[in-house]
Amino acid sequence: MKFGGTSVADAAAFENVARIVARERAASPVVVVSAMSGVTDALLSATVESIGPIFNRHVATAKQLLQGLELERFADLVKLAEAQVRAALQTQNPSNRKSVQDAVVSFGEILSSALTAAVLNQRGVEARQVDARRCIITDEEHTSAAPLLRETFARIESELRRLLDNGVVPVLGGFIGSTLQGATTTLGRGGSDYTAALIGAALNVDEIQIWTDVTGVLTADPRVVPDAQTIDRLSYSEAAELAYFGAKVLHPKTIQPAIENSIPVRICNSRMPQERGTLVGPQSETSPRTIKAIAHKTGVTIVQITSARMLGAYGFLRALFAVFEQHRTVVDVVTTSEVSVSLSLDEAGALTAIVEDLKQLGTVKIEKGRAIICVVGEGLRGTPGIAGRVFSTISDINVSLISQGASSVNFTFVIEEERVKEAVTRLHEEFLATRRNNECF
């Protein structure tokens, strides 16, 4: 059971988590929590002078939840954390920036998990905080570390199984891990979902539950489409595409460990725990309308390389992608013509260096400020007319890159960022908005 930042935002939210966990006690849950909402961002921009309020907030919240020894213990832990963060920030320099950042930011999850365990204990649910850094063992890629699966699975089993067998609820912070040498790492923003999935896979659980502030995966981002509806069921592939192309409700890596062990993933609303939310599993519910959801992501950069050398040549694409590999940059969408390749980048930090290298291969053109829109539905590839309907709905908006066919469940294209809200709203209206009043879809 993973609870996101808003699910542990204040004292009332912690009480609510304790209630939800208590209800599931017979099923031997493992609890994973994010940092209290806003804490990760605050720690990321923290300076030695500015950290006080972050820690005061934890103590103030604990005072509303705990008494006696439990409160004293937690307050001591907060004091220690504050001193450690202060000391770490003082050692920060350009060469250790990312490892210090991981060490600092990890206290968000360390404190929220300690508080959750204490609250559970005071509410009569026997719980124990387990340091996630003993369980999630990663490579050394600070700020976006990848777990070493064999080691991680073995550690999870040995750290958690005994507690579960004794009826104790283990409580871990998500997002954080450590290298084999013991340095603190993090799994990338939003990574607590991934922690939960790794633990679920390692323990071969019946269900991985992601508790958040919306009722499941919705037909579109609710911040853009306020009347977006909960999707009852999604296949693993549908959920993976949505997560990858911007549906923040699930971290993109969450689905992989679930697929490999055929574990269903349920996304629920911690404010409305009685609602069933979305169930992600091997099979999807067939949807006669085919399109189930629309995801989007902004801040995308398009790189276009044009070269006559590509015509009839082999090895060109390999040379091209080697450049991105060298600069450790992920490519999202790719399209090719006879003499040019266009691709989209989500994270363009190394763009200048990439462009320099690409110039060896051909003429390079960059378009910034683009957005990817991805419409998702199992069976989409075999359904005639979808592309026509999509593009006639947004016929006055320029589409700069289209990709379909690589996966049978998605249809992806790129437009200008300024028009993304309008495009998503119109597409939702066209394909999904009439699904109201429990209409069968």
Decide whether 191 or 362 has the Cβ nearer to ligand ASP: 191
Residue 5 contacts ligand ASP per CB under 6 A? yes
223 binds, among Mg ion, ligand ASP, ligand ADP, none (CB under 5 to 8 A by kind): ligand ADP
To the nearest 10°, report the CA torsion of 41, 44, 48, 51: 20
* Beta bridge pairs of residue 304: 342, 365
379 backbone φψ class: left, alpha, beta (φ>0; ψ -120 to 50):
left
> Dihedral sign, CA of 364, 322, 150, 148?
negative
Does 41 bind ligand ADP (CB under 6 A)? Our answer is no
Burial of 115 (0-12, 13-18, 19+ CB in 10 A): buried
Residue 113 beta carbon to ligand ASP: minimum distance, rounded to whole angstroms: 11
Number of helices and strands in the chain (H, E): 13, 17
Nearest approach, Cβ of 189 to Mg ion (angstroms)?
8
State the number of binding residues for ligand ADP (CB under 6 A).
Answer: 19
Stretch that binds ligand ADP, among 1-9, 44-52, 56-64, 180-188 (CB under 6 A): 1-9
The answer to whether 203 contacts ligand ADP (rule: CB under 6 A) is no
Binding mask 9-48 for ligand ASP (x = CB under 6 A): -------------------------xx----x--------
Among 108, 173, 174, 190, binds Mg ion (CB under 5 A): 190
**First CA to last CA across the chain, in angstroms?**
29
| Number of residues binding to ligand ASP, judged by CB under 6 A | 12
Which DSSP symbol is given to 71? H
Instruction: Give whichever of 7 and 342 is closer to ligand ADP, judged by the CB atom.
Output: 7
Tell me: does residue 221 bind ligand ADP (CB under 6 A): yes
Structure tokens at 159: 């750290």
Partner from ligand ASP, Mg ion, ligand ADP, none binding residue 213, C-beta < 5-8 Å depending on class: ligand ADP
Tokens, residue 225: 């489409």
Supply the DSSP symbol for 25: G
Going by the DSSP 8-state scheme, the letter that residue 133 receives in this structure is G
Q: Is 192 in the site for ligand ASP (CB under 6 A)?
A: yes
